[in-house]
Structure 1
Amino acid sequence: MGTAVRPVPDTATAEGDLPRRRAALALFALSLGGFGIGLTEFVIAGLLTEVAADLGVTISQAGHLVGAYALAVVPGALVITPLVMRRPPKQALTALLGFFVVGNLLSAWAPSYEVMLAGRIVAALAHGGYFGIGAVLASSLVPATRRASAVAALFAGLTIANVLGVPAGALVGQHLGWRAVFWIISILGAIALAGLIALVPRTEPEQDQLPVAQQFRALARPQVLASLLTTALVFGGMFGVFTYIEPLLREVTGYSVSAIPWLLVIFGAGLFAGNVLGGRAADRNADNAVLALAILLPVVILTLGAVAGMSTLVTVLLFLLGLVGFATVPGLQARVMRHAQGAATLASATNIAAFNLGNTIGVSLAGFAIAAGWGLRSPTITGAALTLAGLALILGARLAARRTTASIRSTSTP
């Protein structure tokens, strides 16, 4: 792996040779940071009414606080990551968590909408680099056979933020005010920062990274580009469906308002299970795991739309949506890191940006479909279309890779 990091001699004797307990503690610290970042991104969706009323803006303006975060992840990944990735990974992640804490402190204090928006953007600048550098670091702390699972452990914080953090944040916001949520997130960020400093081993980056300009060119390698676009399409499809799941559950399925939080917990449980199972599958064969899941996801999405009026089946499909959708994360992340030799850290961070960019596209397409009068089931159509495009792309990439391998073998045969 081109930009894999190696623990220095006083910490471990070889890459992936950390004692299992030490590696587990380090992964826990990284996951805690991921939990805080995931909570920052998603919790505001349950606080929009309170934020809009307090800052004197409309609901739609408050909604821009969600979109602005997602969009700011992209320049954060492509600009901030190259600036810090040649530093020791622990030092780089410490600086990025510093951005995160400052951004949330601004959000908690914000006397105006503009300051709140600035806080969201500052916090988002840490997102891509943290998960990008963190994924490479996490994979270097364990043996090669467990690297995808180590990446999954990093992303476990993100899934737990959805399962427990977002509902808890909404509850805290209702009783103590939305600002209390961001003060708490700031404290969590400080704890994660302390854990990172205390538990993550000191490491140095490998010296075989390409120059930055060549790393950006590496992003255009066919297999890297295919992985990035697949990430955007697959997650755009899934989150386009999920964003509008609440009105679907209420208006089409017939669930009560009080049932919605529990249904979202079921979806979050699917995310968590998918993250674990996807990591194990990717450890065996990342390409096969991504292909199988890319085939299953549009089937799950279309089935969800077809049975939207059947409450029991919808509950099962909601769990499967989270499971199948998020199970693709470790495989896609491992795939892009493998094909971006010499630029794995930048490619890994860019893949995180692709998640967020895809989410923006998927939500926009689903919103347009509903506004066009296609009904509340229409996000399942746009979502399935995006995931099918991702499936076609990854199939094409696999075929191209096989042709390239066959061509190399034929030319090397005497």
Structure 2
Amino acid sequence: MPFAVYLLGLAVFAQGTSEFMLSGLIPGIARDLQVSIPAAGLLTSAFAVGMVVGAPLMAVLSLRWSRRFALLAFLVTFLVVHVVGALTTSYGVLLGTRVIAALANAGFLAVAMATAVALAPADAKGRATSVLLGGVTIACVAGVPGGALLGEVWGWRSAFWAVAVALVPAIVAVLKSVPSGAPGPAGARARGELRALRRPRLLVLLALAALVNGGTFCTFTYLAPLLTGDTGIGSSWMPLMLALFGLGSFAGVTVSGRVADRRPTRLLVICGPALAAGWAVFALTAGAPVPAVVLVFVQGTLSFAVGSTLISQVLYAATGAPTLAGGFATAALNVGATLGPWLGGLTIGAGLGLRSPLWVSALLVAAALVTAAVARAVGVNPMEKGQPAEAQ
């Protein structure tokens, strides 16, 4: 795997840390800017919405630029808005920086996926995808506890400065390591890529990715109250539990990177049903600490093994639309990351208990399995390795 792909993963880590770290900074931001906790929480929602909307839009915009220029433009924008966020005393300005940061992050991920696939060998799209998503999983491990620690010791602004500083080597690395190429006519490229995106197999894969990621983040969002409430694990153990989920996630993308290029169908057929069953077992055994701790790691592993493999299959299926495929894959993941927590919150609000998000996660993954089965029944095989979109 070319070293430049790992450097892209470093940039994804820095940006992912920015997304995840806010969960530990909300109280400090609310106090400092004199806003309510729900208002401070909107900073997370603004980022998620910006990712969903921005992924396809920024991918289309980037077609006008060379990939190196696009990556640098998105990274520099991300750095600048974090400096502004660290300096501002205005809640409105901070909210605006989160939206702009999300747009830049979405654009970077779309172009980074296309760049990583282009730099990697033709039969290694799964490995390239796992390197990028590995940056996200490490951000899960380090971002939440790291951001909370910085916020506790030096205040929430220090976490924003840390992200800005972490982006500097990524910018230098992209400048030196990613080859520059002249873009084609943007209009023609956009039309050609949009035509390639209409293939049934690709649409099914995007739906599966959204459903599986919805299940993942439905439980992840409410993992702390579940473990401290129903399971009875002390709140002081929560950073470790969140890190354990992140370690499982990293293990999952590592497994996917080794298997997805050669045996994606086998991985999805085995791990998909196991993931749905695991959420159900977690719901049934959440009252006991030992199985809960084990399943935190196991479900993190299965979730990201399945999710990473689905994204690599999106890139295999969209050989005619590498940049927009990355954008729509990013959007699909964030649709799931928005939908899942919303559904989980509805069930808790309806009085169904803290275990109810686990059942929602199981149902979302089950819906993905049913969708895949129906697609195959009508002649669309979402798990056929390497089948180009044009062949559908």
* 1:269-326 deviation digits (Å, cap 9, x = unpaired): 1011001001212111334433433222111111111110111111110001110111
Match of 1:260 among 229, 233, 238: 238
Distance 2:21 2:199 in 1: 36
Query: Per the alignment, do residues 394 and 126 of structure 1 end up closer, same or farther by CA in structure 2, a change over 3 Å counting?
Result: farther
Query: Structure 1 residues 157-166 or 301-310, which shifts more?
Result: 157-166
State the Cα distance separating 1:231 from its structure 2 match. 1.1
1:61 aligns with 2:31: no
* 1:174-196 deviation digits (Å, cap 9, x = unpaired): 01000011011111122211121
State the Cα distance separating 1:43 from its structure 2 match. 0.4
Query: Structure 1 residues 161-170 or 230-239, which shifts more?
Result: 161-170
Q: Is the 8 A contact 1:236 1:361 kept in 2?
A: yes
Aligned to 1:9: none
State the Cα distance separating 1:403 from its structure 2 match. 8.1
Distance 1:96 1:208 in 2: 18
Distance 1:167 1:206 in 2: 43
Query: Per the alignment, do residues 235 and 177 of structure 1 end up closer, same or farther by CA in structure 2, a change over 3 Å counting?
Result: same
Aligned to 1:52: 30
Matches within 5 A, 1:309-328: 309-328=287-306
Query: Per the alignment, do residues 208 and 107 of structure 1 end up closer, same or farther by CA in structure 2, a change over 3 Å counting?
Result: closer
Query: Per the alignment, do residues 294 and 85 of structure 1 end up closer, same or farther by CA in structure 2, a change over 3 Å counting?
Result: farther
Match of 2:180 among 179, 202, 220: 202
Aligned to 2:16: 38
Distance 2:381 2:200 in 1: 13
1:162 aligns with 2:140: yes
Contiguous gaps of at least 5 residues in structure 2:
385-392
Aligned to 1:409: none
State the Cα distance separating 1:142 from its structure 2 match. 2.6
Q: Is the 8 A contact 1:39 1:166 kept in 2?
A: yes
* 1:67-118 deviation digits (Å, cap 9, x = unpaired): 1101101222121211113422111111111221122122212211111111
Query: Structure 1 residues 30-39 or 71-80, which shifts more?
Result: 71-80
1:181 aligns with 2:159: yes
Distance 1:240 1:312 in 2: 21
State the Cα distance separating 1:204 from its structure 2 match. 5.3
Q: Is the 8 A contact 2:16 2:140 kept in 1?
A: yes
Matches within 5 A, 1:386-405: 386-401=364-379
1:282 aligns with 2:260: yes
Query: Per the alignment, do residues 207 and 145 of structure 1 end up closer, same or farther by CA in structure 2, a change over 3 Å counting?
Result: farther
1:239 aligns with 2:244: no
- Specify the structure having the higher radius of gyration (Cα): 1
* 1:215-254 deviation digits (Å, cap 9, x = unpaired): 3354332111111111111111111011111111011111
* 1:368-403 deviation digits (Å, cap 9, x = unpaired): 100100001100111111111111112233344468
Task: Give the TM-score taking structure 2 as reference length.
Answer: 0.92
Task: Give the TM-score taking structure 1 as reference length.
Answer: 0.87
Aligned to 1:379: 357
Q: Is the 8 A contact 1:42 1:162 kept in 2?
A: yes
Query: Structure 1 residues 139-148 or 96-105, which shifts more?
Result: 139-148
Q: Give the SS at the match of 2:124.
A: helix
Distance 2:103 2:64 in 1: 17
Distance 1:67 1:208 in 2: 31
Q: Is the 8 A contact 1:289 1:328 kept in 2?
A: yes
Query: Structure 1 residues 144-153 or 227-236, which shifts more?
Result: 144-153
Aligned to 1:141: 119
Contiguous gaps of at least 5 residues in structure 1:
1-19, 406-414
Query: Structure 1 residues 297-306 or 205-214, which shifts more?
Result: 205-214
RMSD over equivalenced CA pairs, Å: 2.1
Aligned to 1:151: 129
State the Cα distance separating 1:140 from its structure 2 match. 2.2
Aligned to 2:319: 341
1:295 aligns with 2:273: yes
Q: Aligned AA for 2:37?
A: I
Aligned to 2:390: none
Query: Per the alignment, do residues 289 and 48 of structure 1 end up closer, same or farther by CA in structure 2, a change over 3 Å counting?
Result: same
Kindly tell me the number of residue pairs found equivalent between the two proteins.
Answer: 383
Q: Give the SS at the match of 1:144.
A: coil
Query: Structure 1 residues 382-391 or 287-296, which shifts more?
Result: 287-296
Match of 1:102 among 59, 80, 84: 80
Distance 2:329 2:55 in 1: 9
Aligned to 1:89: 67
Q: Give the SS at the match of 2:261.
A: helix
Q: Give the SS at the match of 1:202.
A: coil
Distance 1:176 1:265 in 2: 22
Query: Structure 1 residues 94-103 or 35-44, which shifts more?
Result: 94-103
Matches within 5 A, 1:346-385: 346-385=324-363
